Structure 1
């Protein structure tokens, strides 16, 4: 077996040089997993820099040894899972449900957390439910599909085209869990004991119909009957989302899992703000669609818009995990927020960053008077402190006087 080379990077850390075959370097650059470019001063070396994606992927390039790129988040793994869990289920998530404090790497922690939740879900046996079934039969059950009976059998009595509700374990919830187990077994870096337990879960789900790769996940709805599945299904959605770069481009194959910290931070901030305003006379809308121009041709979707009792916009918030790159459009975040405030008719707007990525300050726009606040949220603290900081921020935002 060919040994796999491992390259470890840290999220948003300075670029480093690593010797790589050109084919692997070009594959990394094309995948946009990290920023990759040939070193202009050293032949055979590539300069690599991680952005906001964290996790691990393995690249299998023809005629080259496999290469695993592992990107370590700056926040502790336990804190990352708190952000994730709270975003998925702010009222039902408990930090102790996912025991990942002993892990430094994301993928082993994700695999262990998901396996434990699946095991808890299946401990009482596979959930059963009704599903719509259609078949050709010699016995009538359910209802006869008259149009299909005529089309296929030209009025013959038997066989019969029927439709009925089947009580079975082959339901969306179990199909999602089986797909999750299969996905986790293909991830690099999963510990041997976790892999063994995942194989046990796969055996439990052996009679469940596999999902077709590329198709949308089947829909499920939280109810009292499937409550023991909720946490497992929330984590399953994360494992099976398109943030998992598992694809084959020509002869190249990429297996792994990546979290986008930008999206994770945005989801957490907006979810926590919604929770902070729960029970008040304010209402919240996420990704609220608006237009910048009178002709309604320039669309805009602020992350979070707070509406007052009069149902008019009261405040606008955008969550930015990291400040816009200095070599990009200068201060693009501020211009974007100014556009939001102008279109919504608000005198103030709020940008929320992770602490260390932007200063805590405010800017008053010349000739307009609009004030743009930059808030710094400290992720390096216990969940209670973090949520307390969000509640304080919500109080400040709601206190802004509308025009």
Structure 2
């Protein structure tokens, strides 16, 4: 059934392929991590370097904290252990905690235009519907006026997310969601999620809503290659692992280098903006200019095989973006057992130096991001 659902989805070919393992059909997932729900089945897609499921959950959630700090902000403030529960349940718990934070701060109300056929005049008269509806009813007027109410898009999305949690979760998460529904008793669930998302207006007074709204969108509409409508068989909360790893490496570098830049695009050809150069990181350290790229690819410790395209790409970045002085290039890969860090020099007159950097990953319960950053710097051959 899972294989059939994967075949039916138009977008599945982007990351999901059907293969065979041990004589049975299996799904192979590429470059995405998170949760894939197919009917009643829930598949957890975890990072490959993890030794077991619990370590995979812990590693993924730690890296997501660096890639999506807004949505995972409350996770850093509370002490629950999401790696010990199913990943989808952990996502729902993070959503419930973010809604609890909103309720503690107070539900935001907004002025919403309400049309109503009433016995007294309020607001402005809607002439056309008044004539059509109230022909012969001289005691009524059809008007529109603004009311300061909680029934507006942001709250409707949160209510819809809570209703989804009530249907799909159990235990403590479901109990807390049921309690929160009482705070939304004057707010109906969203009847059109897409329309309410388009109508969202999030200003600086609503910053406490941002984590909850992020989770509501992800749970209601999906995240990743699948973005199904209501009733679809396949739903997902999947994160692009390449991007997550890029943010994770950037997070560690920023702990050591405050002025780390995500390099703006540069034109490769003078006559057009179609071909742009965009390295992941550009920074300076002790007078040296440096550029780095992060690749989520597991390298074999016995024989490091790097794509020539990656080497040419980084070489082009160095030629175009670095001028004068010592120039160093870095390719960051996830650490695998026994993978060495190696340094090379390009065989030309540029004096560009390239180092392959095995990036330490957040494993175990006692990891510390600052210790990981120090470890990364040492592997880059830089002074701490």
Counterpart of 2:84 in 1: which secondary structure? coil
Q: C-alpha separation between the residues in 2 aligned to 1:22 and 1:88?
A: 31
Q: C-alpha separation between the residues in 1 aligned to 2:191 and 2:328?
A: 47
Is the 1:135–1:162 contact (alpha carbons within 8 Å) kept by the matching residues of 2? yes
Is the 1:25–1:46 contact (alpha carbons within 8 Å) kept by the matching residues of 2? no
Of 359, 373, 382 in structure 2, the residue corresponding to residue 377 of structure 1 is: 359
Shift of 1:247: 1.9
Shift of 1:172: 5.1
* Shift in alpha-carbon separation, 1:373–1:263, aligned structure 2, 3 A: same
Aligned to 1:320: 295
Of 262, 280, 287 in structure 2, the residue corresponding to residue 303 of structure 1 is: 280
Q: C-alpha separation between the residues in 2 aligned to 1:248 and 1:80?
A: 27
Superposed counterparts of 1:256-267, under 5 Å: 256-267=236-247
> Is 1:291 aligned to residue 267 of structure 2?
yes
Is the 2:334–2:359 contact (alpha carbons within 8 Å) kept by the matching residues of 1? yes
Aligned to 1:178: 159
Q: C-alpha separation between the residues in 2 aligned to 1:340 and 1:277?
A: 20
* Shift in alpha-carbon separation, 1:133–1:104, aligned structure 2, 3 A: same
Q: C-alpha separation between the residues in 1 aligned to 2:296 and 2:215?
A: 22
Higher helix share: 2
Q: CA RMSD in A?
A: 4.7
Aligned to 1:242: 223
Q: C-alpha separation between the residues in 2 aligned to 1:321 and 1:391?
A: 20
CA shift digits 1:162-196 (9 cap, x unpaired): 675x5332355434423433454565xx3344234
Shift of 1:324: 8.1
How many residues get paired?
350
TM-score after normalising by structure 1:
0.66
Shift of 1:340: 2.1
* Shift in alpha-carbon separation, 1:349–1:37, aligned structure 2, 3 A: same
Aligned to 2:331: 351
Query: Structure 1 unaligned runs (5+)?
Result: 1-19, 61-65
Aligned to 2:317: 340
* Shift in alpha-carbon separation, 1:342–1:69, aligned structure 2, 3 A: same
Is the 1:135–1:163 contact (alpha carbons within 8 Å) kept by the matching residues of 2? yes
Is the 1:55–1:259 contact (alpha carbons within 8 Å) kept by the matching residues of 2? yes
Aligned to 2:134: none
Is the 1:82–1:383 contact (alpha carbons within 8 Å) kept by the matching residues of 2? no
Aligned to 2:137: none
* Shift in alpha-carbon separation, 1:46–1:79, aligned structure 2, 3 A: closer
Shift of 1:109: 1.5
Shift of 1:104: 4.7
Q: C-alpha separation between the residues in 1 aligned to 2:181 and 2:371?
A: 41
Q: C-alpha separation between the residues in 2 aligned to 1:133 and 1:324?
A: 59
Aligned to 1:69: 43
Aligned to 1:115: 96
Query: Structure 2 unaligned runs (5+)?
Result: 132-139
Aligned to 2:341: 360
TM-score after normalising by structure 2:
0.69
Superposed counterparts of 1:9-48, under 5 Å: 23-24=4-5, 26-27=7-8, 31-32=12-13, 34-37=16-19, 42=23, 45-48=24-27
Is the 2:252–2:372 contact (alpha carbons within 8 Å) kept by the matching residues of 1? no
Counterpart of 1:332 in 2: which secondary structure? helix
CA shift digits 1:76-108 (9 cap, x unpaired): 423432322343338966635251345253112
Shift of 1:254: 0.9
Is the 2:122–2:144 contact (alpha carbons within 8 Å) kept by the matching residues of 1? yes
Structure having greater relative contact order (Cα 8 Å, sep ≥ 6): 2
* Shift in alpha-carbon separation, 1:341–1:68, aligned structure 2, 3 A: same
Shift of 1:253: 1.9
Superposed counterparts of 1:100-111, under 5 Å: 100-101=81-82, 103-111=84-92
Of 44, 48, 57 in structure 1, the residue corresponding to residue 36 of structure 2 is: 57
